[in-house]
Amino acid sequence: MQDVESQWIIIQEWAKSSGANIDERSVFQELWSRVREKKVGTIVVAELSRLSRRMRTLVNFLYDCVERGVHVVSIREGWLNDALRTK
């Protein structure tokens, strides 16, 4: 069984990270690195705009997620990239 509490702590820490340039946030860059290394299975966000304020960055990030079979769920948009089923 997975440790849900440790996952919740990681999500909360990520959610607290902010800055003038959201795309340069160290936590976002760490998440992206983990996606590229295939160490992430699913990413849940309140809304897609929380990932990046720049459309190009968001598209590139989501493209990397799809290429690596990472599910991205956005609560507000009711969106799920069903990456694993397309493989």
Q: How many residues does the chain have?
A: 87
d(CA 35, CA 21) in angstroms, rounded, equals: 20
- Using CA atoms, how far apart are residues 77 and 80, in angstroms rounded to an integer? 9
**The pLDDT value given to residue 5:** 78
Instruction: With cut-offs at 50, 70 and 90, classify the pLDDT of residue 84.
Output: very low
Is this prediction's pTM over 0.75? no
Domain ranges of the chain: 4-86
CATH architecture of the domain covering 4-86: 3-Layer(aba) Sandwich (3.40)
So what's the pLDDT on residue 2?
60
Given a cut of 80, whether residue 73 has pLDDT beyond it is yes
Instruction: Please answer whether residues 45 and 51 qualify as being in contact, where contact means their C-beta atoms are separated by less than 8 angstroms.
Output: yes
Residue with tokens 């998440």: 31
pLDDT tens, position by position, 22-66 = 566 788 899 999 999 999 999 998 888 888 888 999 999 999 999
Closest by CA to 40, choosing from 22, 58, 18, 66, is 66
What pLDDT score was predicted for residue 19?
A: 45
Q: Given this model, what pLDDT does residue 30 score? A: 92
8 Å CB contact between 73 and 79: yes
